Chains A and B, each alone.
Chain A
């Protein structure tokens, strides 16, 4: 099966907005995805969690849209929407019945141009409370909920902006002021720091005309501040560990490594290695730890691509009751080490390629994913054509390349380990908030 080629136009409007349009008419559905080149790495000390809080504020109305009206209009048009914030970027998206494309474009233009007209203390305070409840619900009150944040903190030094989590701290969220929000908007939410991707059932010429109409007069910032040199050594330079006693019934290890940057072909090899290690019941870690030796309840391994310093490759393993916690870590790491010492078999590679091909085709069936990937590759790599190259890059990864990247990445001196152990007696939730309640 050959992957359908995604054909698209790619241009920059006079105000710097990058516009990508991929037209197809398989379903009467169109996706709009706006990526801003700002994420939690742009936050400074004392203002963590700000990029994400701001993402919430973007749904609170703008010059010509009332509070919560953005959602109401999209929903009444039969569309769906959301926004996400991550280390390198923030994005906002709508998937619409195709005859409602213009509405989505107008809504995105209105908040890019006039968000501050609607900003007020009440809306900020309300969304601050919502975000604090998101933090409680997604991290603080959840078993193992802080694991990834802790791993991130171990893998990146305190002076690197990947050190702190996207959700931020309660103290910093409390401190965020209207002035901070306004300054953040003026600095980063400008057309010359954005990519607008449209994919699906749209007439490309009409879509372009609408984008010009609504966006072209939004002024460019002109001098979006660039972050300094954030490069990091590929290896951590020594193992780091943290033990967490928490309200969990089973011990679990989270084992992370610095890995090559997003877009580096070595990260493709790491993705294929992750599939061979833990992608389903035929994978090495599952087979050895869960199926054959029966020492683990579950296993996982994956890579997360970032562009400023290093990516993260990480896995986790949950220890079965009554099994020695250290033994489980040792066996897990033996399997990682085996990847550095001997090439994967032809059959393992063939199975991994076949599965990755299916996953990629499955993902690219949806207009939302096509728009997302076009905007992502344009924002992070300045290369939207990667949407058509990524699969062949995966399929061309060799056993030797996997062994090489494993040898570079999966080494003890590049390793951070967060171990959760069942607490003896009562423990409070793992939170940074004053819990006087």
Chain B
């Protein structure tokens, strides 16, 4: 055979190896805290994640930023390990402590050799139960956050993200605030404020320790000092009805355009969208397939148009950030200044097309095949598996949600996709937020009449 003959024959796919998302066990400790264990043979480096179903969205508005700051401050010293001794103790185990909070939950996690798991879990328990929140360290972390907010203003990507979320949510909706708090609330945070939030996360009924790697449930239970005789079951609970969503209201009831002036910008950072959906939306799978075709795949409609056809951008994406409550739907891109208006027009055209016509069979099959096929790739390591189980716990989702994922994706039809687009993409309340050079784009952007136009010319700090 010649080289030409060889290469002109496309290979056939082989037989897929069976893959199922790993089962995990659930053991409820006497305190009410759950221990979830995923046994993954051949993975000597294990991940342990202590997760509490109380997140940034649960904090009072006047303490905005307290949950994130509390998480940062927890590694600044505990009753048993003052100052940096906690960090040093973790480092001696080869363990980096990841302590943070997102909208839905607080978590403290560690990657460590299976043999050192008991010691690592003891450190996690110590920092979660007995942090001291030293005055001086809290003050330093508070200043670091305030300095970071200065950096946000100077970085067009971070600035547009913040401007976008504050535009689409009504005042009082937690998702409209920066997760780390703003200049006003952060400046008022004290050790007592952190202690107030800390008390709310010490709630075993809302807490799970999730461990994945090459060890057994019995070994994990020994590592946490669980009493003998507890029952461990393969997890198979349905959705948890006690998990509630925070109150969320849209701040926009019509199309709007907000342009933030950043003199001399060579690109416009663009965000377009509106309040989206909570994770437990009934048509979740149809929405996922729709969002993949629109702006999730590398060759999504938006990418093929704005990048591969027009060359307007290095990349464009779109999707729903789903949380316990309705997170944002957004189209995200940065385009060279001179094509700001045509790029937005093309993106709007793609949003409408998604609503107006059925996706082709080829598009549908390609998206479903990707999501089904890439599923095992997403869960190659214990860290990824533990993260996914943590997402189930945080969202109150059924234990078999991931085991059923691929069948659910396979069942999505072109009509489901269009219905998801019609129901959840809302041109009538599209907020278009741009950070760019107003001298170069304001006139055309206003004239394009994408929505009620407002230019904000206050200069960023620095």
State the A residues within 8 Å of B (CB): 1, 4, 26-29, 63-64, 67-68, 71-72, 75-81, 95-103, 105-106, 109-110, 113-114, 125-134, 136-138, 140-143, 201, 210, 213-214, 217-218, 247-250, 280-282, 287, 290-291, 294, 297, 320-321, 347, 350-351, 354-355, 357-358, 361-362, 365-367, 422-423, 426-429, 431, 433, 435, 437
Contacts and interface: CB of A to CB of B under 8 A. Distances in A.
A141 B156 contact: yes
Contact of B380 (A29, A71, A105, A131): A29
Contact of A76 (B308, B336, B369): B369
A358 B45 contact: yes
Interface stretch (B202-210, B323-331, B371-379, B421-429): B371-379
B151 A249 contact: yes
A411 B201 CA distance: 49
A114 B6 CA distance: 12
Contacts of B151: 143, 249-250
A423 B336 CA distance: 23
A350 B14 contact: no
Interface string B1-41: 11110111011111111110000000000000000000000
Contacts of B313: 130, 133, 137
Interface string B45-65: 100000000000000000000
Contact of A362 (B1, B19, B111, B373): B111
Contacts of A96: 377
A133 B376 contact: no
Contact of A113 (B7, B88, B304, B310): B7
B92 A130 contact: no
Contacts of A347: 88, 92
B94 A365 contact: no
20 contacts: A1-B115, A29-B380, A68-B299, A68-B304, A71-B299, A75-B374, A76-B369, A106-B11, A109-B7, A136-B336, A141-B267, A142-B156, A290-B144, A294-B143, A355-B94, A361-B45, A422-B462, A426-B263, A426-B264, A435-B264
Main secondary structure of the interface of B (DSSP, over half): mixed
A350 B92 contact: yes
A282 B77 CA distance: 12
A351 B42 CA distance: 25
Contacts of B2: 217
A429 B10 contact: no
Contacts of B94: 354-355, 357-358
Nearest to A433: B266
A287 B311 contact: no
Given A28-B16, A351-B91, A355-B96, 4 more contacts: A27-B380, A214-B7, A281-B84, A362-B111
Given A99-B15, A280-B87, A358-B113, A75 B308 contact: no
From B19, B147, B156, B380, residue with most partner A Cβ within 10 Å: B380
B189 interface: no
Interface in B354-406: 365-366, 369-370, 372-377, 379-381, 383
Nearest to A62: B7
B147 A99 contact: no
A349 B1 CA distance: 59
A130 B3 contact: no
Contacts of A103: 10-11, 13
A26 B10 contact: no
A435 B440 CA distance: 10
From B43, B94, B262, residue with most partner A Cβ within 10 Å: B94
From B2, B13, B266, B304, residue with most partner A Cβ within 10 Å: B266
B265 A78 contact: no
B222 interface: no
B336 A132 contact: yes
Given A354-B92, A361-B45, A422-B462, A136 B11 contact: no
Given A78-B373, A282-B84, A218 B11 contact: no
Contacts of B440: 437
Contacts of A214: 6-7
Interface string B306-317: 011111111100
B353 interface: no
From B95, B299, B337, B460, residue with most partner A Cβ within 10 Å: B299
B221 interface: no
Contacts of B381: 362, 365-366
B462 A247 contact: yes
